[in-house]
Amino acid sequence: MSTLFSSGARLLVAAQVGLVLVLAGCLESSDFDRPTEVVDLRVLALRLEPPEIEMPLSEHADPIPVGISALVATPDSGTLQWNMRMCSSATSRGCKGEEEGGVLEHVSSGEVEIPSSHGEVPEIVLEGEISFSVEMIQELLEATLLDGLGGIRPVLDLEVRSGDYSERALKRLQISFPDIAYRLLMAEVGIPICDERGLPEGCLEYRARVPNANPAIEDIAYRRVLQDGSLSDPEPIPEDGPLLVSSGEQVWLVPQAADGSSESYQTLFVDFETHEVRLEDREEILIWSWFATAGRLGRARTEETRTRGEQNLWTAQESAPRSQGDVWIWLVLRDNRGGVDFTSLHLRVD
């Protein structure tokens, strides 16, 4: 059987010594450390569906479609222009051109009018799709041959512009070698895989690899901070209108990810000089990024362990000119392997 990955994998094996495989990856230039207040054009998230694909086993396989969703906050009216492209490598300034050795593929471009009053959330979600043919994956494989057996990680480059503001965001897609490639690799270095009885002696408890999936936001609840400092019982955010809050009021926002959003996976470490192979079982970390058009958020991002919970405290502003009116809060949920989901909340300060 003729396969796409076989020759590339063997060349990579010959080129790498002391190779470390971490089967993950995400790069976004619009990151967690930026200010949480949204007052102008902002790219808040890039989502790929799926966030990881596998190289096809056959040279005659059908193209693999990957959907693209870009969450763009647009507080001001005007004309939004955008350009999406996919490339084999990029710098912080965007995709490398063909003259720099980059493989480019145009995804979409266009412009849309941003109304002066959205009536709803001040955002635009740009949608696109790119299909990865066998030929395209082979070209990417050749262009990134020395990147390691972690697979190929082409970059989505999005540029948006409105008036005097422009933003660029980058995100990597994980294209992994199929499960059989890792099994062949371990067989080549003489490491047996355990059977259901845990045999033979010295074997590795290798689990079949499953491509990463995006996490999903299940629900957002809120708890008001009462005058005596205690908290109200948790209630779901209203779906039929904004959550009404008073000037200066504090509200805890409590997000919940859907079951299965945090996936288990294995990392494979290979040293071709010593033939040492080690597997580590890991669980994805879920990180919430927070953005708001007004008020003050306690944290820019939250995570169950590092911030002692995923909840975040939002305080309505008391002073003019933005103390009253509609407020929008965005939550972006990410796992540490490139998965993304996002949603928005509507509050009204009176």
Residues 284-299 have a mean pLDDT of 96
4 vs 173, which has greater pLDDT? 173
Q: Please work out, in degrees rounded to the nearest 5, the angle formed at the alpha carbon of residue 172 by the alpha carbons of 83 and 337.
A: 140
259 vs 201, which has greater pLDDT? 259
Which has the closest alpha carbon to 149: 223, 209, 220?
209
pLDDT at 149: 56
Residues 64-74 have a mean pLDDT of 96
Spatial CB neighbours of 244, under 8 Å, sequence gap ≥ 6: 347, 348, 350
pLDDT at 112: 92
Which has the closest alpha carbon to 39: 344, 327, 345?
327
pLDDT at 21: 31
pLDDT at 7 over 70: no
pLDDT at 25: 34
Residue 38: band (very low, low, confident or very high) from pLDDT cuts 50, 70, 90: very high
Spatial CB neighbours of 65, under 8 Å, sequence gap ≥ 6: 129, 130, 131, 132
pLDDT at 105: 83
pLDDT at 9 over 50: no
* pLDDT single digits (tens) 300-311: 999 999 999 999
pLDDT at 314 over 50: yes
Q: Please work out, in degrees rounded to the nearest 5, the angle formed at the alpha carbon of residue 218 by the alpha carbons of 212 and 220.
A: 135
b/e map of 61-76 (b: 16 or more CB within 10 Å)?
A: eeebebebbbbbbbee
Residue 279: band (very low, low, confident or very high) from pLDDT cuts 50, 70, 90: confident
Residues 247-268 have a mean pLDDT of 95
pLDDT at 224: 98
pTM comes to 0.85
SS3 per residue for the chain:
CCCCCHHHHHHHHHHCCCCECCCCCCCCCCCCCCCCECCCCEEEEEEEECCEEECCCCCCCCCEEEEEEEEEECCCCEEEEEEEEEECCEECCEECCHHHCCCEEEEEEEEEEECCCCCCCCEEEEEEEEEECHHHHHHHHHHCHHHCCCCECCEEEEEEEECCEEEEEEEECEEECCHHHHHHHHHHCCCCECCCCCCCCCCECCCCCCCCCCCCEEEEEEEEECCCCCECCCEECCCCCCEEECCCCEEEEEEEECCCCCCEEEEEEEECCCCEEEEEEEECCEEEEEEECCCEECCCEEECCCCCECCEEEECCCCCCCCCEEEEEEEEEEECCCCEEEEEEEEEEC
* pLDDT single digits (tens) 170-201: 999 999 988 888 788 778 777 788 988 989 98
Residues 53-71 have a mean pLDDT of 94
Residue 90: band (very low, low, confident or very high) from pLDDT cuts 50, 70, 90: confident
Which has the closest alpha carbon to 133: 171, 110, 103?
103
Q: Are 335 and 215 in contact (CB under 8 A)?
A: yes
The number of residues in the chain equals 350
